[in-house]
């Protein structure tokens, strides 16, 4: 028998799903790393997707010891550089297909949430003109344990008044899919990062429609129930 899904909400990661800020994070970290003589490449930057600012710095340092006050100064400097890039963001930077997806979800009565590790999430949503869509916004200030812990998604689901198995998480990062699966959410991977362990993957945001999400997740649930 095909299990029927009871989906009541969609929860979106921000960076890499609603807009693509990974390049700005890269350029800001790169400037900071260059100033401190730390090797850091675009490929290194891929490992920073979805993880917190502090964990990003730890991954850039690759085990090199650093005093915590110095780490704080470096993170503040990187964030200043990042925020300067954010000033150029407009609604034209929303990824393709996202407004249509949000409109159709709203029209269907689904709850909508954002769950981003970023402490800049609210500012980015404002600049994109997307804030009004969301019933709950979770950011890097809301929980102590960030992705891959499920806490942020659980926090947002609570505010949307849904159980994890009634919510679909959209994520572009390995750490984000790990978090969604650990929390018992339906997990949809977006893009080309290592998100193949999600229940369903779309290469591009422009391919995502509600029908495809529901069909794909139903098929994934049917596969799981046969196993």
Per rule CB under 6 A, count of chain residues that contact ligand BG6? 17
Rounded (10°) CA dihedral 12, 166, 223, 194? 20
174 binds, among ligand BG6, Mg ion, none (CB under 5 to 8 A by kind): none
Binding region for Mg ion (CB under 5 A) out of 8-16, 62-70, 98-106, 134-142: 8-16
Which listed residue (38, 48, 152, 187) binds ligand BG6 by CB under 6 A? 48
Tell me how far apart the alpha carbons of residues 169 and 22 are, in angstroms, rounded to a whole number. 19
* Sign of the CA dihedral with 92 first, then 97, 101, and 107 last: positive
Q: Which of residues 125-154 bind ligand BG6 (CB under 6 A)?
A: 140
Which segments of the chain does DSSP mark as H helices, in order? 22-36, 42-46, 53-61, 68-86, 98-108, 121-128, 151-160, 174-183, 210-226
Which residues touch 34 (CB under 8 Å, ≥6 apart)? 40
Q: How far is the CB of 16 from Mg ion (least distance, A)?
A: 3
Does 15 qualify as catalytic in the annotation?
Answer: yes
By C-beta, is 38 or 151 nearer to Mg ion? Answer: 151
Does 13 qualify as catalytic in the annotation?
Answer: yes
Q: Is 13 in the site for Mg ion (CB under 5 A)?
A: yes
Give the interface with ligand BG6 as residue ranges (CB under 6 A).
Answer: 14-15, 25, 48-53, 56, 79, 116-120, 140
Binding site for Mg ion (CB under 5 A): 13, 15-16, 50, 172-173
């Amino acid at each position: 028998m095909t299990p029927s899904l009871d989906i009541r909400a969609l929860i979106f990661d921000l960076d890499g799903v609603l807009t693509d800020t990974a390049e700005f994070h890269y350029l800001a970290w790169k400037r900071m790393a260059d100033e401190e003589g730390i090797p850091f490449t675009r490929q290194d930057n891929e490992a920073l997707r979805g993880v917190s600012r502090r964990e990003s710095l730890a991954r850039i340092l690759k085990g090199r010891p650093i005093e915590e006050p110095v780490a704080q100064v470096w993170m503040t400097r990187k964030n200043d550089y990042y925020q300067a890039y954010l000033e150029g963001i407009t609604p034209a930077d929303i990824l393709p297909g996202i407004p249509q997806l949000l409109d159709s979800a709203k029209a269907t009565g689904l709850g909508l949430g954002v769950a981003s590790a970023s402490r800049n999430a609210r500012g980015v949503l404002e600049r994109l003109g997307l804030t009004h869509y969301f019933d709950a916004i979770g950011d890097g200030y809301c929980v102590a344990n960030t992705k891959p812990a499920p806490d942020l998604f659980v926090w947002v689901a609570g505010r949307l008044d849904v159980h994890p198995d009634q919510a679909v998480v959209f994520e572009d990062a390995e750490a984000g899919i790990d978090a969604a699966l650990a929390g018992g959410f339906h997990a949809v991977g977006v893009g080309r990062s290592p998100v193949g362990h999600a229940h369903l993957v779309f290469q591009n945001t422009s391919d995502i429609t509600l029908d495809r999400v529901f069909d794909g997740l139903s098929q994934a649930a049917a596969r799981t129930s046969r196993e």
